[in-house]
Amino acid sequence: MAGNTGPLSPRAKLAVTAGKAAAAVSRAAGRGSGSVIGGKVALKLDPDLLARLATHLDVVLVSATNGKTTTTRLIAEALRASGPVVSNALGANMPAGITSALAGGSDARYGVIEVDEKYLAGVARDVSPKAIALLNLSRDQLDRAAETRMLAEKWREGLAGTKAVIIANADDPLIVWAASSSSNVVWVAAGQEWKDDAWSCPSCGGVMQRPGDDWFCGECGFRRPTPSWALSGDYVLDPHGSAWPIHLQLPGRANKANATTSAAVAATFGVPPQVALERMYQVQAVAGRFDVVQFLNRDIRLLLAKNPAGWLETFSLIDGPPAPVILAVNARGADGTDTSWLWDVDYTRLAGHPIFLLGDRKLDLAVRLEVAGLDFRVCETVDEAVQSAPPGKIELIANYTAFQDVRRRVGN
Amino acid sequence: MSQNSLRVVWVYPDLLSTYGDQGNVLVLERRARQRRLDVQRVDIRSDQPIPTSGDIYLIGGGEDRPQRLAAERLRRDGGLNRAVANGAIVFSVCAGYQILGHEFINDLGQREQGLGLLDVISTRGEGERCVGDVLADIDDRLGLPPLTGFENHQGITHVGPNARPFARTRIGKGNGTGDGTEGAYNDTVFGTYMHGPVMARNPHISDLLIKLALDVNALPPVDDRWYEALRNERIAAATQPS
């Protein structure tokens, strides 16, 4: 097995050791896993460390607005059929976190790496990946992030000339625009429920036509490429036309889409779809998301949704009425401080559910639901919301820091 | 115009619906229906002609490139100018606000001609974007309570003699001119930099537009409990140092 610390220079070894020490100190101080601080220390001592650590790995990068942590997990599980994997499984997806994760996998053959959208082009330059999976792009934290089309443009420029195979979603025009600067693309019909960031042609600005599942620009001819892989109901269709059943413990259409892309990635490394999909069944919850926890003698399913596209996919996977639903929204730094996006989410989809509102910005939610004509109750604490909910499994949907707050309270 | 119907036109959601702008449409629709008005909402994409028979037109914010595309298509179409000539009410936010003026700076760094419906001229600031909660006092003549909103822009908008500043900021940048003005308006055309969306935090603005469109002085009251709770929270948040 090719180890990846063996060939490292003394400087790189020192950097890895110092990074691990910093991480250990951070952990001991009770400040999280320490992976980010460890990576920062290591990169300070050896700025090329990320590239060095990746040299002896077959690297897969995964980026998207939504689903990147889950897809990284699914690909990692699939590739374990073929060899040991190192991965930033907990979602530390900027260069420091990635460095730290790779430094921990000295005997791995594969590196499966989730990358924050803003860093994709840079990380792809550093680690010379074999494959890059691109899932979707949509509006997210516009008060601090780049505009969505600008992000697609940056990907397009950064990925031009890459040697990696790009595995990309043919159903998202922004993804197709970003990926099609590369000559080696495997197109996957993975679907995209959210369409409101792609009514304008990313190439020429013309109005997009979207009949059924197809899409094309009426003005410049930019159009949906023919996919070689597809999600079709509960099956993955491979390039040979075979249909493979998807069995996941993870709920929802979006996760079936993630599994389809993961199967296409695994196939580029010689793992057949049947083997890949069987292994993906192992994945039960991803960093606490989709987990069903017991709290105050109630079953609560914890769902993370950070932006309009994510909320839309989440509404389609929850149990139907009268399942009680708790919604929790914060607007701290990591969430984006502008709550305007709540108005892009179609909350009328929750009609018939008893609804309970939580979080720093519960009053923004209250006005949103009032205007949607829904009944709701505003609660001060998770305990109050859970105790107020009528019987049945509770679906709890929260954005990023609200999700963390809830998890701290309900354990697990 | 019949007293019990209201035709609301949402202009170019395919280009200018980036920051929850649909919220203004939804709040306006909801509050008009609560007054038992027969509301017809029409969403007009940028490859469709703008109808000229609407009562209230809403136009939202967007990124720099769609803003230029929207200005080009609105100029070519001419429908919005004809509607205003017919007496229609227009309410615009951020990129849409700039488009209604005489000119703004487009994504290519060039001066782009606006629709000239509001006497303002916009340029682009050099420094950091204006991002954060805003608190402002709306022009006395409009008789509205304080304005609360969220701004996220880099524009600088100068208000000319044929328009009035919509509000004076207590907290936040507003028009970015350094003189404390926020937004602009004339008899029938309004512009603001406020997201939030602004009508969710300031439902009185949607009521004002309805009153102007129906030419009435008052509307039956509706339950404003949650709007008021949100307003109080956001005004307190804006005035407390974070």
> Cα–Cα distance between A331 and A385 in angstroms, integer?
20
What's the confidence (pLDDT) of residue A18? 75
Decide which of A245, A260, A280 is a domain's last residue. Answer: A280
Do B20 and A342 count as a contact with CB atoms less than 8 A apart? yes
Asked which of A142-151, A266-275, A389-398 is least confident by mean pLDDT, the reply is: A142-151
Q: Is the pLDDT of residue A132 over 50?
A: yes
Q: Quick one: A259 and A368 in the same domain? A: no
Contact yes or no for A340 and B196 at CB 8 A: yes
Cβ–Cβ below 8 Å for A372 and B26? yes
Residue A220 assigned to a binding site: yes
Residue A22's pLDDT band (boundaries 50, 70, 90)? confident
Please give the average per-residue pLDDT across A169-180, as a whole number.
Answer: 97
ipTM field: 0.96
- CATH architecture label of B5-239: 3-Layer(aba) Sandwich (3.40)
Catalytic residue among B102, B130, B153, B195: B195
Model confidence at A69: pLDDT above 90: yes
* SS3 per residue for chain A: CCCCCCCCCHHHHHHHHHHHHHHHHHHHCCCCCCHHHHHHHHHHHCCCHHHHHHCCCEEEEEECCCCHHHHHHHHHHHHCCCCCEEECCCCCCCHHHHHHHHHCCCCCCEEEEECCHHHHHHHHHHHCCCEEEECCCCCCCCCCCCCHHHHHHHHHHHHCCCCCEEEEECCCHHHHHHHCCCCCEEEEECCCCCCCCCCECCCCCCEEECCCCCCEECCCCCECCCCCEEEECCEEECCCCCEEECCCCCCCHHHHHHHHHHHHHHHHCCCCHHHHHHHHCCCCCECCECCEEEECCEEEEEEECCCHHHHHHHHCCCCCCCCCEEEECCCCHHHCCCCHHHHHCCHHHHCCCCEEEECCCHHHHHHHHHHCCCCCEECCCHHHHHHHCCCCCEEEEECHHHHHHHHHHHCC
Q: Please report whether residue A125 resides in a domain.
A: yes
pLDDT, chain B, mean: 95
B150 contact residues in A (CB cutoff 8 A): 143, 337-340
Range of weakest confidence among A144-158, A185-199, A289-303? A144-158
Domain that holds residue A165: 10-280
Domain match, A318 and A365 both: yes
CA angle A360, A361, A365 (to 5 degrees): 145
One domain, residues A363 and A252: no
Q: Nearest-CA residue of chain A relative to B202?
A: A367
pLDDT, position A4: 46
**Domain contains A2:** no
Chain A neighbors of B200, CB-CB under 8 A? 343, 364, 367-368, 371
Q: How far apart are CA A177 and CA A223, in angstroms?
A: 9
Q: Predicted confidence band at A198 (pLDDT cuts at 50, 70, 90)? A: confident
- The whole-angstrom distance between A306's CA and the closest CA on chain B is 14
Are B197 and A343 inside 8 Å of each other by CB?
yes
pLDDT for residue A412: 60
- Write out the catalytic residue numbers of A: 338
From the list A148, A343, A373, which residue is nearest B200 (CB)? A343
Do the domain assignments include residue A302? Answer: yes
pLDDT at position A5 is 44
Residues of B in contact with A149 (CB under 8 A): 63, 65
- Percent pLDDT > 70 in chain B is 98
Residues of chain B with C-beta less than 8 angstroms from the C-beta of A365: none
* Closest residue of chain B to A368, computed from CA coordinates: B200
Q: Which of A149, A196, A337 sits opposite B63 (nearest CB)?
A: A149
Instruction: Using CA coordinates, name the residue in chain B closest to A378.
Output: B226
- The domain total for chain A is 2
Contact A149 B65 (CB under 8 A): yes
Q: What value does the mean pLDDT take over residues A356-375?
A: 98
Nearest partner of A319 among A233, A405, A206, A396, judged by Cα: A396
Please indicate, yes or no, whether residues A273 and A382 belong to a single structural domain of this protein: no
Of A280, A300, A319, the residue that ends a domain is A280
Domain with residue A387: its CATH number is 3.90.190.20
Residue A127: give its domain's CATH number.
Answer: 3.40.1190.10
Say yes or no to pLDDT of A103 above 90: no
For the cut 90, the answer to whether the pLDDT of residue B81 exceeds it is: yes
Q: Average pLDDT, stretch A54-58?
A: 90
Percentage with pLDDT > 90 across chain A = 73
CA pair distance A261, A135, nearest whole angstrom? 8
**Mean predicted confidence (pLDDT) in A138-160:** 86
Same-domain pairing of A298 and A237:
no
Same domain, A40 and A124: yes
Residues A386 and A298 in one domain: yes
Q: Average of pLDDT values for A302-322? A: 94
**Catalytic residue list contains B195:** yes
Predicted pLDDT at A19: 75
Lowest model confidence (mean pLDDT) among A41-45, A54-58, A264-268, B155-159: A41-45
State the pLDDT at residue A332: 94
* Residue A277 to chain B, least CA–CA distance (Å): 37
Q: Is A201 within any annotated ligand binding site?
A: yes
pLDDT given at position A1? 39
- Domains of chain B, residue spans: 5-239
Percent of the residues in chain A that have a pLDDT greater than 70, as a whole number: 94
Model confidence pLDDT, tens digit, residues B139-180 = 999 999 999 999 998 899 999 999 999 999 999 999 999 999
Q: Do A341 and B14 touch (CB under 8 A)?
A: no
**pLDDT one-digit tens code per residue, B181-228:** 999 999 999 999 999 899 999 999 999 999 999 999 999 999 999 999
> Using N-to-C axis directions, what is the helix angle for A95-103 and A35-45, rounded to 10°?
90
**CB within 8 Å: B46 and A341:** no
Residue A44 scores a pLDDT above 90:
no
Interface of A with B (CB under 8 A): 139, 142-144, 147-150, 196, 199-200, 205, 207-208, 218, 337-344, 363-364, 366-368, 370-373
**Residues of B whose CB is below 8 A from A337:** 131-132, 150
pLDDT in tens, B11-28: 999 999 988 999 999 999
Task: Please indicate, yes or no, whether residues A275 and A302 belong to a single structural domain of this protein.
Answer: no
Give me chain A's average pLDDT, please. Answer: 91
Q: Which chain A residue shows the shortest CA-CA distance from B194?
A: A340
Residues from chain A contacting residue B15 (CB–CB below 8 Å): 199-200
Closest partner CB to B230 (pick from A142, A208, A364): A364
- Strand pairing of B103-105 and B111-113? antiparallel
Question: For position B1, what pLDDT does the model report?
Answer: 44
Q: How does strand B155-159 pair with strand B120-124?
A: antiparallel
The reported pLDDT for the residue numbered A9 is: 79
Q: What is the pLDDT of residues A228-240, one digit of tens each?
A: 999 999 999 999 9
Rounded CA separation B122/B103 (Å): 6
Note the pLDDT of residue A300. Answer: 97
- Over range A167-190, report the average pLDDT: 97
Closest partner residue to B46 (CB to CB) among A207, A337, A373 is: A207
**A2-18: pLDDT as tens digits:** 444 456 777 777 777 77
